[in-house]
Structure 1
């Protein structure tokens, strides 16, 4: 079955000429570069029957020739696209239903009624500069940079991107070449998780991809530890990168929230498997860097979009509250811009590429050494999981014993431990009875929500101090600050009562791993 493996990177349009004279392309090139004008028609039914089946059907004109292509469901992870693909030459710009290589498409298009409904949904027009490269390791990679437009009626959307398609060798070479490009090019590159077809459909429907939440990890009891770690880490990395576009385009604050959750999950994965896999200090350091740069934006999002509106509902006529909200919105935008700049930076792109390269090289490839630390060499996945869960549960209980006096430092430590345990349980939940796992997660969630509210209240006090003095020096503005602090104090008092009930629930929740 033909499979297309490629890595996509987006770049500023102004950099096209620079790429055309890039010495690396001449150094690694093994054939003369080519330039093509490409015109592509994408087909679907009015209700997008093909898209719902994760299929793309297109006709592409290259000079005087037409090529019919079918791409079916594959995977996209951190810019690496893997899909099944069938291509065949056709005599004109008419679909040929006798030339369908995919059995699924043959069945889908066997209906004469559906074939009649097929129509052009969008087109792309772009220029492609193409080079065939050979790496020192011997892999052959087709390097293309495309610049053009997606067109639907009178609506157009420009794009400029690099495609690195693997012709022979290992996908690790795609990541290595991309890292080289990021390091030598004087402008930023960004891994692109959205294909031209997906962009065309989004333009056609007017719908953006929603924020991506954590998906279940498909683990099996007979898996080795390194395979389990790879699946978990890739799952976290997918969630992180699939929310990038929403943050950069400022669609919804939820995208940033999901990126931060993905970061915490990924850091938890490294922590959970620290006793099993070699330490990756540099990667963990960079994950902490990214977390540090996204946190302020999320704190201001919560303060401005969740907390201040609740206060304003009770003080609608207070001019100081309204003025303070406007000031806070300005500060929120400032921190969101800083978060976007971090995601668009070279450092971020290098981090994502290095994470993927690490997972590919260390664990994925047959024949590659799967290094485990001695302490867990002969440990099964289920026993390893139980050991991790028991240790973290004990740490939570020990920390709970210090919370009686509502000590904020202990509460913060408790919140971190509970998050770690929840993410760990969610990683491994496929190995245990679902009903009992769900009860345990529920008890963790109750505690996490209450501790999250406490954390938000503590952040409120800190964020108020970040407001310029010039904005809080009048009597009415000082009064507004006082109202917020008073409301905040009430929140903390209410949480003091609720947390005791949640702690009791957790104490009495059965430990699902003991049944195995």
Structure 2
């Protein structure tokens, strides 16, 4: 056995009432069978498997016990996972009985570390087999509990697994369902949910990971890999925003949205022509909602440096209230029917592409090099120093630096050796420094626009006084702006001088 079977599955979290209603949904109708099973998930004490994107479990049914390892599969691990299953007699995983590819990988990751149970799920499952378009699909209605330590949560899920056919049929089936607050797309496995529960709410968000590309890819295949990569980052983080208003998850969702917008700019012709502008408008709107919550969080952090300052408490109270409302609005939007449908529409567009695109069959490497050269020119053409630019042009420079960095990270794996040997100051490192300095300048700028926060106060005197207090507190940090401008100028000079490894 050389290769693992690939599991292609969409998981949706449902409310109990919604799951019951879905059993009667015409798109999911059919005869079925019911069963119960207990699943124990395993990992090391420092979650080595979870960090490597692997889940390890033992599933017990009456008269049967088996162990399974699942691994995210490229290019779109969002819905594709390698699945290795072997029979088992004991109560602990037996790594040595797995086939060689996954056995060797597990041994390499685990080293001498022992695995231990992290959680147990007890599930009742109703399974049906249906037809969706030209594809055969297994539909699982799961209810039960998931226990980790002394915490227990209810499980209520709908799983759509492709038995035979095409992923696009699975995505279209999901779009025929009543998506919204009671039925949301989830890429968070039960083992990952266990990790969330055992890490005390720390580091639950998922940062961007660079897509893996190859010289053999054409433009369409490159867009497919990059598009799914961006979508996965969004899917992995938005549930945290909906559930708890997690600030770092909001930030990661914003990054995912911006990366996707850059990908759509680079590969615009790969999107279905009829959907192109509507999808771009949708993700831009989501980014705006997230941006408001993020900007208020940044403002709150800045002012907390002066929390002991007399008069700051009243200003902080107003900002706290506005921040809470913005986070609630972000959570509402991400749980909405419009956003849930947008997720599947994005996935379907990435998966189907644009068959009429003339560039689609061209080799990816030369296309990527042209894109990077164009982005670099847009960034460095400005010959004036940053301190001579107006606020609007500084903002535009920041966006271009961000776009250049995301584009370079998308394509870096096409030139791994050239990127590693690109000189003393690698190009992407210079971009990261420039983006960091311009980002902090932007944070200073947007906080200066927040005097409207006090407009709801019916007392004009109190309103004016709090606005004046905010202005005073922000002025305490104005010296930092001059330093940031100097540092940004230096960073831009380094970007201009950094080697362009895509021309090697």
Runs of 5+ consecutive residues of structure 2 not aligned to the other structure: none
Q: 1:214 aligns with which of 178, 201, 208?
A: 208
> 1:320-331 counterparts in 2 under 5 A?
320-331=311-322
Give the superposition deviation at 1:213.
1.8
Question: 1:464, 1:210 → 2: CA distance?
Answer: 33
Give the superposition deviation at 1:130.
2.3
Q: 2:299 maps to what in 1?
A: 303
Deviations 1:469-504 (A, max 9, x none): 528833863542231342354444444444443443
Question: 1:412, 1:23 → 2: CA distance?
Answer: 51
Judge conservation of contact 1:78–1:356 (CA < 8 Å) in 2: no
Q: 1:56 maps to what in 2?
A: 56
Q: 2:391 maps to what in 1?
A: 408
Higher deviation after alignment, 251-260 or 489-498: 489-498
Question: 2:86, 2:261 → 1: CA distance?
Answer: 41
Judge conservation of contact 1:129–1:145 (CA < 8 Å) in 2: yes
Aligned pairs, number: 487
Q: 2:256 maps to what in 1?
A: 262
Question: 2:485, 2:51 → 1: CA distance?
Answer: 48
Deviations 1:280-318 (A, max 9, x none): 22221211121122110111111112x112344xxx241
Q: 2:473 maps to what in 1?
A: 484
The root-mean-square deviation of aligned C-alpha atoms, in Å, is 3.5
Q: 1:39 maps to what in 2?
A: 38
Q: 1:354 maps to what in 2?
A: 345
Taking structure 2 as the reference length, the TM-score comes to 0.84
- C-alpha spacing 1:107/1:460, structure 2 compared with 1 (3 Å): closer
Q: 2:461 aligns with which of 470, 473, 491?
A: 473
Question: 1:107, 1:219 → 2: CA distance?
Answer: 24
Question: 2:284, 2:49 → 1: CA distance?
Answer: 41
Judge conservation of contact 1:25–1:133 (CA < 8 Å) in 2: yes
Deviations 1:215-270 (A, max 9, x none): 22222233211111211222211222212233223374221111111111111111
> 1:409-448 counterparts in 2 under 5 A?
409-432=392-415, 433-434=418-419, 435-436=421-422, 439-448=426-435
- C-alpha spacing 1:50/1:484, structure 2 compared with 1 (3 Å): closer
Higher deviation after alignment, 272-281 or 457-466: 272-281
Q: 2:72 aligns with which of 71, 74, 79?
A: 74
Question: 1:122, 1:377 → 2: CA distance?
Answer: 45
Judge conservation of contact 1:147–1:160 (CA < 8 Å) in 2: yes
Deviations 1:85-120 (A, max 9, x none): 325487xx857969945346777999xxx9xx8765
> 1:64-143 counterparts in 2 under 5 A?
64-75=62-73, 80-86=79-85, 88=87, 100=97, 102-103=99-100, 121-137=118-134, 139-143=135-139
Q: 1:157 maps to what in 2?
A: 153
Question: 2:158, 2:18 → 1: CA distance?
Answer: 11
Q: 1:366 maps to what in 2?
A: none
- C-alpha spacing 1:273/1:24, structure 2 compared with 1 (3 Å): closer
Question: 1:427, 1:511 → 2: CA distance?
Answer: 15
Runs of 5+ consecutive residues of structure 1 not aligned to the other structure: 364-368
- C-alpha spacing 1:101/1:178, structure 2 compared with 1 (3 Å): same
Question: 1:282, 1:491 → 2: CA distance?
Answer: 40
Report the 3-state secondary structure (helix = DSSP H, G, I; strand = E; otherwise coil) of the residue aligned with 2:178: helix
Q: Which has the larger radius of gyration?
A: 1
Question: 2:116, 2:390 → 1: CA distance?
Answer: 65
Report the 3-state secondary structure (helix = DSSP H, G, I; strand = E; otherwise coil) of the residue aligned with 1:182: coil
Judge conservation of contact 1:127–1:148 (CA < 8 Å) in 2: yes
Judge conservation of contact 2:88–2:94 (CA < 8 Å) in 1: no
Judge conservation of contact 2:119–2:147 (CA < 8 Å) in 1: yes
Give the superposition deviation at 1:339.
0.9
Question: 1:460, 1:145 → 2: CA distance?
Answer: 48
Judge conservation of contact 2:234–2:252 (CA < 8 Å) in 1: yes
Give the superposition deviation at 1:357.
1.6
Judge conservation of contact 2:59–2:66 (CA < 8 Å) in 1: yes
Higher deviation after alignment, 333-342 or 167-176: 167-176
Report the 3-state secondary structure (helix = DSSP H, G, I; strand = E; otherwise coil) of the residue aligned with 2:141: strand
Question: 1:37, 1:464 → 2: CA distance?
Answer: 58
Q: 1:248 aligns with which of 233, 242, 251?
A: 242
Q: 1:148 maps to what in 2?
A: 144
Q: 2:12 maps to what in 1?
A: 9
Judge conservation of contact 2:245–2:328 (CA < 8 Å) in 1: no
Give the superposition deviation at 1:330.
1.2
Question: 2:93, 2:478 → 1: CA distance?
Answer: 70
Judge conservation of contact 1:3–1:85 (CA < 8 Å) in 2: no
Higher deviation after alignment, 118-127 or 425-434: 118-127
Report the 3-state secondary structure (helix = DSSP H, G, I; strand = E; otherwise coil) of the residue aligned with 1:216: coil
Question: 2:460, 2:99 → 1: CA distance?
Answer: 66
Give the superposition deviation at 1:403.
5.3
Q: 2:21 maps to what in 1?
A: 18
Give the superposition deviation at 1:430.
2.5
Q: 1:452 maps to what in 2?
A: 439
Report the 3-state secondary structure (helix = DSSP H, G, I; strand = E; otherwise coil) of the residue aligned with 2:229: helix
